[in-house]
């Protein structure tokens, strides 16, 4: 990278599941807004293909003089001067060991970390247990973001980062059973996806309160970007055919990015102007909220139950090996 190209990038964003679908669209929009992007992908070949595609698109757009706003350099740009504008971390988020290895690789790749997008997720076709004996979607959709938030917390706090959890409106169909769900004993192809997304969403507000109480400056919000036409949930058989037909009427993937990136981009992250939704609300100070596209929404039952959130937090800490002091829980939990 030439020196003048490096100087334009004043912030770094990590996008899990960034090699396709919503994650790739988000990564592209962040890159063109002047943010260095690091993709987290499980498949090395697909990850490299996405990385090369993003880099080529950036070069083509900048050759036409229509690149992102970038920035004026500064401390973050100085630290990132020798780093690629699009990076790749190969990591498996489906079990605890994989998440810990991924976090270590992210820390190596990102001297500073202003934006973390939890986008990786799976919609399982069948019950599969991971190396920890846990149902794979529960581990990927719920436990992985929980553990990454803990493992990356110090780096995130150093930059007063923005964390965005990509959620799903289908969470309202969840019936959470803390005894059966972790090992998929209540498995159902649709219900399990809804439950695991609900478990994850329930912990966004507790993370926000915890980080706020500790004065970290980290802000976290969740967003359902709409019913988006991606490869998520693709499968064989009658259900697969039904989904394929239904997806023809779903929103194109490119339209999923703006609701996500507007929660991530603000002046503190060095990526342009503060995002505005809800008729003029500055999201630079908003934390612990849930949005459906651009509209803030209250959480539906049972996610409005703080006792459930506490039980989910305690269980997630136990299953991931996070050593947590119960006295450090937010008082509101």
State the pairing for strand pair 86-90/295-297.
unpaired
3-state secondary structure 28-92: HHHHHCCCEEEEEECCHHHHHHHHHHHHHHHHHHHHCCCCCCCCCCCHHHHHCCCCCCEEEEECC
Sorted by where each begins, the domain ranges of the chain are 3-328
- Would the pLDDT of 47 be above 80? yes
Model confidence pLDDT, tens digit, residues 142-190:
999 999 999 999 999 999 999 999 998 777 788 899 999 999 999 988 8
Predicted pLDDT of residue 236: 55
**DSSP letter string, 265-295:** --GGGTSSSPPEETTTEEGGG--S-EEETTE
Predicted pLDDT of residue 66: 56
> Which structure tokens are listed for 300?
């539906």
Angstrom distance (rounded) from CA 156 to CA 168: 24
Helix (H) or strand (E) run with residue 319 in it: helix 306-320
> pTM for this structure?
0.85
The CATH homologous superfamily to which domain 3-328 belongs is: NAD(P)-binding Rossmann-like Domain (3.40.50.720)
Predicted pLDDT of residue 302: 85
Predicted pLDDT of residue 118: 98
Residue of 62 and 142 predicted with greater confidence: 142
Model confidence pLDDT, tens digit, residues 77-135:
445 556 889 999 999 999 999 999 999 999 999 999 999 999 999 988 899 999 999 99
Which position has the token pair 């309160």? 209
Within 8 A by CB and 6+ apart from 154, the residues are none
Helix (H/G/I), strand (E/B), else coil: 12: strand
Beta bridge partners of 277: 281
Model confidence pLDDT, tens digit, residues 263-288:
999 644 333 333 433 444 556 689 99
């Amino acid at each position: 990278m030439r020196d003048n190209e490096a100087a334009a990038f004043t912030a770094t964003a990590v996008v899990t599941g960034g090699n396709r679908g919503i994650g790739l669209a988000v990564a592209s929009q962040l890159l063109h807004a002047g943010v260095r992007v690091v993709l987290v992908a499980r498949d090395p070949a697909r990850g490299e293909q996405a990385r090369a595609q993003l880099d080529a698109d950036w070069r083509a757009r900048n050759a036409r003089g229509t690149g992102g706003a970038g920035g004026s350099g500064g401390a973050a740009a100085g630290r990132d001067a020798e780093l690629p504008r699009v990076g790749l971390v190969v990591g498996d988020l489906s079990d605890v060991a994989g998440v810990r290895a991924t976090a270590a690789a992210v820390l190596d790749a990102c001297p500073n970390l202003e934006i973390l997008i939890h986008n990786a997720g799976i919609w399982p076709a069948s019950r599969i247990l991971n190396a920890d004996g846990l149902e794979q979607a529960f581990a990927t959709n719920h436990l992985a973001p929980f553990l990454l938030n803990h493992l990356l917390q110090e780096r995130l706090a150093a930059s007063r980062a923005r964390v965005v959890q990509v959620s799903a409106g289908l969470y309202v169909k969840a019936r959470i059973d803390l005894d059966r769900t972790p090992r998929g004993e209540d498995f159902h192809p649709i219900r399990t996806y809804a439950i695991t997304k609900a478990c994850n969403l329930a912990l966004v507000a507790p993370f926000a309160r915890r980080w706020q109480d500790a004065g970290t400056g980290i802000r976290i919000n969740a967003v359902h970007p709409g019913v988006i036409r991606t490869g998520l949930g693709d499968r064989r058989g009658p259900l697969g055919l039904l989904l394929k037909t239904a997806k023809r009427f779903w929103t194109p993937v490119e339209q999923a990015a703006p609701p996500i990136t507007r929660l991530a981009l603000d002046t503190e992250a060095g990526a342009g102007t503060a995002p505005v939704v809800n008729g003029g609300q500055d999201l630079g100070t908003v934390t612990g909220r849930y949005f459906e596209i651009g509209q803030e929404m209250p959480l539906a039952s049972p996610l409005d139950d703080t006792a459930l959130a506490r039980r989910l937090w305690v269980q997630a800490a136990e299953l991931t090996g996070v050593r947590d002091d119960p006295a450090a829980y937010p008082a509101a939990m």
